[in-house]
Amino acid sequence: MEGLNPNKVKILSNGCHDPILEDGGELNFDSTTHLLHDYMKILDERATMLLGYPHNIYCDEYVALAPLLRYHLNNFGDPFTENNYGMHSRHFEVGVLDWFSKLWEIEKDQYWGYVTHCGTEGNLHGILLGREQFPDGILYASGESHYSVLKAARMYKMECEVIGTLLTGEMDYHDLRSKLLLNKNKPAILHLNIGTTFKGGIDNLDVVIETLKECGYSQDKFYIHCDAALCGLILPFLKNAPKITFKKPIGSVSVSGHKFLGCPMPCGIQIARKKHVDILSRNIEYIASIDATISGSRGGHAPIFLWYSLSKKCHTTLQDDAKRCIQNARYLKDSLRNSGISAMLNEHSITVVFERPLEQEFIHKWQLSCERDMTHVVVMPGVTTQMLDNFVIESGGKDIEVAVMTKEHGLNQLEEAEIDAIVAEIETEKAAAEAAQKGPAERNLVLLKFILNYP
DSSP string across 212-257: HHHTT--GGGEEEEEE-TTGGGTGGGSTT-----TTSS--EEEEES
pLDDT at 432 over 80: no
Q: For residue 12, name the pLDDT band (cuts at 50, 70, 90).
A: low
pLDDT at 16 over 70: no
Q: What are phi and psi of 299, to 5 degrees?
A: -60, 135
Q: How far apart are CA 166 and CA 25, in angstroms?
A: 62
CA of residue 281 relative to chain centroid, distance: 29
Average pLDDT, stretch 224-249?
Answer: 96
pLDDT at 9 over 60: no
Q: What are phi and psi of 111, to 5 degrees?
A: -115, 160
Contacts by residues 337-343 (CB-CB < 8 Å, ≥ 24 positions apart): 338/446, 338/447, 338/448, 339/392, 339/395, 339/396, 339/447, 339/448, 339/449, 339/450, 340/447, 340/448, 340/449, 340/450, 341/395, 341/450
Name the catalytic one among 295, 349, 369, 395: 349
Ranges 44-53, 231-240, 278-287, 356-365: which has the least confidence? 278-287
Q: What is the pLDDT of residues 248-287, one digit of tens each?
A: 999 999 999 999 999 999 999 999 999 999 888 887 777 7
Q: What is the pLDDT of residues 55-76, one digit of tens each?
A: 888 788 899 999 999 999 999 9
Look at residue 13 in the predicted model and tell me its pLDDT.
56
Q: How far apart are CA 409 and CA 348, in angstroms?
A: 39
Compute the Cα dihedral for 193, 194, 197, 198 and give only its sign.
Answer: positive
Catalytic residue status for 342: no
The Cα diameter of the chain in Å comes to: 81
Amino acid found at 98: D
Look at residue 445 in the predicted model and tell me its pLDDT.
34
Q: What are phi and psi of 222, to 5 degrees?
A: -150, 155
The closest alpha carbon to 448, from 338, 322, 293, belongs to: 338
pLDDT at 154 over 80: yes
Q: What is the pLDDT of residues 171-229, one digit of tens each?
A: 999 999 999 999 999 999 999 999 999 999 999 999 999 999 999 999 999 999 999 99
What percentage of the chain exceeds 90 in pLDDT? 69
Ranges 24-33, 34-43, 270-279: which has the least confidence? 24-33
Amino acid found at 127: I
Q: How far apart are CA 155 and CA 174, in angstroms?
A: 28
* Arithmetic mean of pLDDT over the chain: 85
